[in-house]
Structure 1
Amino acid sequence: MSAYLFTTPRLGFRTWKEFDLDDFAAINADPEVMRFFQKPYTREDTQAMMERMQNMFEEKGYCYFAVDLLETKELIGAIGLGWKTFESDFTPCVDIGWRIGKKWWNKGLSSEGAKACLDFAKEKQIQEVLSMASTGNLASIQVMKKIGMSYWKDFDHPDLKNHPDIQRCSLYRIQF
């Protein structure tokens, strides 16, 4: 296995590898994990996401990283930074996000990983990081608060026009 870009006490962050596809596709296919997205991802959707993340890493030096639990070397999901360009008064912007398998929920792993990604953003001299989640996604909003982000505003996500149940989003930010 390749070396990690950075670690926390429990997590290792790295770029995506072909061998991640089965585990990440299983996480992305879970309707509970994907509750606040348009739909669960197919294997092809997951493959495309992994390729986008690799390309983003090559272009920007960050992405939603593949994250392993160091103790077992299991892929738990993705935590990292993204580049958002959808039509809005706050884009383009760097955002932070996470998606981990249900097996690892409620263990503080998203918060631990997101804090490390904020440190990574500071090292990259990124001056502001945003995060957004559907207003009903209280678990993700709690992570945003836990990692020191401040509520900015609510907005209707333009990419979710056909999904009114998840279109209203809360936007948080942190500046360095």
Structure 2
Amino acid sequence: MTEIRTPRLLLRRWTDDDVVPLSEINADPEVMRWIGDGSTLDPEQTADEIERWEEEWDEEGFGVFAVELLASGELIGAVGLSVPEFLPEVLPAVGISWRLGRPFWGQGYASEAAHATLEFALQDRGLDRVVAINRAGNEESENVIRKLGMVSERETTDPELGHLLQIHGIDLTEYEA
């Protein structure tokens, strides 16, 4: 089982016990504001999402991690890697993303987990490049992207939802620099 430990966090694969706490995170309109069409997800949709993430782990050898606090074992969100099939113009690419419960915002957890995930992608999984796709106006995610050392590459429009998206990227040579 793939696990990553950071000073404060455990990034791990998903279990059935994660559906309820992730459902609570996914039910918060502020958390979901910048994700997809902004709709909240119910427990059944959350279980489906976890199932899709686990399938990607099995198919690709990477995926979205469950993120928990080492001190308490509490699930605080999701951070990981996925193929951004909704945006064919960036393919082939692997994207990094994060979603944390609101009580855990502003404490550096997203940056800590995303940095560990980026290192996992580029060093452990041997990916040459990782992108971050950020909806324009999401300054909090933009801050995490900057901390990762990712460079703005271009803007585009979400082909399904019409949102303005910012594409950032980093490759292995830039990461090691």
Q: Deviations over 1:119-167 (max 9, x none)?
A: 1002110000000111011100110001111111111011313xxxxx1
- Deviation for aligned residue 1:92: 3.1
Corresponding residue number in structure 2 for 1:169: 165
Distance in 1 separating the partners of 2:115 and 2:14: 20
Distance in 2 separating the partners of 1:126 and 1:160: 29
Corresponding residue number in structure 1 for 2:142: 141
Report the secondary structure of 2:82's partner residue: strand
Report the secondary structure of 2:62's partner residue: coil
- Deviation for aligned residue 1:6: 1.1
- Deviation for aligned residue 1:89: 2.2
- Deviation for aligned residue 1:87: 4.4
- Deviation for aligned residue 1:47: 0.7
151-160 vs 87-96, which deviates more? 87-96
| TM-score (structure 1 length as normaliser) | 0.92
Distance in 2 separating the partners of 1:92 and 1:49: 22
- Deviation for aligned residue 1:5: 1.1
Distance in 1 separating the partners of 2:83 and 2:102: 25
User: Identity of aligned pairs, percent?
Assistant: 36
Which 5+ residue runs of structure 1 have no aligned equivalent? 162-166
- Deviation for aligned residue 1:88: 3.0
The amino acid across from 2:113 in the alignment is: G
Report the secondary structure of 2:96's partner residue: strand
Corresponding residue number in structure 2 for 1:127: 128
- 1:96-111 equivalences in 2 (<5 Å): 96-111=96-111
Corresponding residue number in structure 1 for 2:175: none
Report the secondary structure of 1:33's partner residue: helix
Q: Measured at CA, do residues 13 and 87 of structure 1 come closer, stay the same or move farther in structure 2, by a change above 3 Å?
A: closer
- Structure 1 outlier segments of 4+, above 4 Å: none
